[in-house]
């Protein structure tokens, strides 16, 4: 139940040269925005449409604590300090007919490496796959699908291009990024969809207790924005199943809403509450959490957007150590983790997006690595991200 991962100074001339080389390289690959239709590239007999989706996302980040190993844990799109690197390079093909639809997406980079860090050892390198699914329209309102899906939990995407800020929120990192299994979608109304799915795990393509995870949600898109309500339950940490400890299972309720107030202002909010349960010596135990994130975004003309984000993540409950494993601490080694982010977006043309994030993470006790080997309770960072689009 975990989306997680992880200073030598470089001369400015060298860094600027690297940025220029990266920009030239990424300019060779173009992409559509994930939230929009992929670019049609072929039509067969007027019945099958094949579309291309591709993306390149690169970043350079600065952590004021200057960690020795250059890792910035808890980051998805900017996980390294003082390095110019690619977050993700993704290429996907979609095929759609009147009654069927399928997608296969391959990717590489820091983001997929972090996303698949929780996958158990396997002879297959699952990290190459971002999505691989097929769907059939059983009736006019009912669609059945199976395969590897991006997780529907939460407001944020696994691609920075689809989010309001470059850096990922703590809530996004805590939730799974993908699920393998089956799902059904039913549209009772034109702008409302109901979905139920059974999957192999929260962040596992390989699981012995299939089906183990359920997700039920309702979501929709209105003239004023979008919304979603979701409930899920799953075995969350199979590695903790040991002598004297019962199955560890997580439960959550999650919801978000986006609101377009007018041509200049947009707002969004996500809230979540959940629990992790287990038994030790036939006694029931529980740890719980609650989290919230709010956004405000201002459009300053066609090319500029400014976004402010505030978030807090709290976890509590019983803390227990068994056979060297810690129970009752769901993610980070602190009770409360919060962050404030100010993001400036520049899109000079539709094909190019640049984002600059200034962010400060704050923990209730020291947890952030620093250059002197000590831990800090505050972590100021700056991230510059570049996306090239079609």
**Tokens encoding 58:** 């690169």
**pLDDT score, position 127:** 87
* Separation between Cα atoms, residue 145 and residue 138, nearest integer Å: 10
**pLDDT score, position 321:** 66
Q: 328-344: b or e for each residue (b if 16 or more CB lie within 10 Å)?
A: bbbbbebeebbbebebb
* Separation between Cα atoms, residue 44 and residue 185, nearest integer Å: 27
3 state DSSP class of 217: strand
pLDDT in tens, 11-37: 333 433 333 433 333 333 333 333 444
**Tokens encoding 333:** 């080694």
* Separation between Cα atoms, residue 131 and residue 158, nearest integer Å: 11
* Separation between Cα atoms, residue 155 and residue 171, nearest integer Å: 9
By the 10 Å C-beta count (0-12 exposed, 13-18 middle, 19+ buried), 52 is classed as middle
**pLDDT score, position 339:** 98
**pLDDT score, position 174:** 85
Question: What are the distances in angstroms from CA 208 to CA 113, 201, 238, 385?
Answer: 23, 10, 10, 39
* Separation between Cα atoms, residue 383 and residue 362, nearest integer Å: 17
Domain architecture of the chain: domains with CATH: 12-388 (2.40.160.10)
3 state DSSP class of 136: strand
* Separation between Cα atoms, residue 386 and residue 25, nearest integer Å: 12
pLDDT in tens, 311-367: 999 988 766 666 666 666 667 888 999 999 999 999 998 889 999 999 999 999 999
Contact predicate 294/309, CB 8 Å: yes
* Separation between Cα atoms, residue 179 and residue 70, nearest integer Å: 30
3 state DSSP class of 117: helix
**pLDDT score, position 221:** 93
**For residue 251, which of 266, 230, 268, 229 has the smallest C-alpha distance?**
230
**pLDDT score, position 10:** 38
* Separation between Cα atoms, residue 87 and residue 90, nearest integer Å: 10
The residue behind tokens 């407001």 is 155
Helix (H) or strand (E) holding 342: strand 336-346
Residues of the chain with pLDDT under 70: 1-37, 41-46, 122-123, 202-211, 237-246, 318-330
**Tokens encoding 137:** 């329209």
């Amino acid at each position: 139940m975990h989306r997680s991962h992880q200073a030598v100074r470089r001369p400015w001339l060298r860094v600027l040269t690297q940025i220029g080389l990266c920009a030239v390289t990424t300019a060779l690959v173009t992409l559509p925005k994930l939230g929009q239709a992929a670019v049609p590239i072929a039509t067969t007999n007027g019945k099958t449409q094949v579309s291309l989706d591709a993306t390149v996302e690169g970043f350079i980040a600065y952590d004021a604590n200057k960690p020795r190993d250059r890792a910035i844990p808890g980051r998805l799109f900017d996980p390294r300090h003082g390095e110019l690197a690619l977050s993700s390079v993704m290429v996907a093909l979609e095929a759609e007919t009147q009654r069927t639809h399928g997608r296969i997406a391959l990717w590489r980079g820091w983001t997929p490496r972090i996303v698949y860090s929780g996958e158990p050892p396997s002879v297959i390198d699952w990290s190459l796959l971002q999505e691989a699914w097929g769907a059939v329209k059983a009736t006019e309102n009912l669609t059945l699908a199976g395969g590897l899906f991006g997780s529907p939990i939460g407001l944020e995407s696994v691609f920075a291009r689809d989010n309001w800020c470059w850096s990922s929120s703590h809530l996004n990192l805590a939730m799974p990024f993908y699920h393998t299994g089956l799902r059904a979608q039913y549209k009772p109304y034109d702008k409302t969809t109901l979905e139920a799915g059974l999957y192999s795990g929260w962040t596992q393509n390989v699981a012995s207790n299939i089906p183990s995870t359920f997700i039920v949600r309702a979501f929709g898109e209105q003239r004023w924005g979008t919304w979603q309500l979701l409930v899920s339950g799953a075995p969350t940490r199979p590695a903790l199943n040991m002598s004297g400890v019962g199955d560890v299972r997580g439960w959550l309720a999650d919801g978000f809403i986006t609101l377009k107030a007018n041509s200049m202002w947009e707002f969004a909010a996500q809230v979540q509450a959940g629990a992790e349960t287990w038994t030790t010596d036939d006694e029931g135990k529980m740890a719980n959490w609650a989290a919230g994130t709010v956004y405000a975004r201002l459009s300053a003309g066609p090319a500029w957007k400014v976004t402010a984000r505030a978030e807090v993540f709290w976890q509590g409950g019983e803390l227990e150590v068994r056979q060297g494993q810690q129970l009752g601490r769901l993610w980070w080694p602190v009770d409360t983790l919060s962050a404030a982010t100010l993001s400036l977006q520049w899109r000079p043309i539709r094909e190019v997006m640049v984002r600059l994030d200034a962010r400060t993470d704050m923990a209730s006790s020291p947890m952030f690595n620093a250059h002197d080997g000590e831990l800090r309770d505050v972590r100021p960072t700056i991230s510059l991200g570049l996306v090239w689009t079609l």
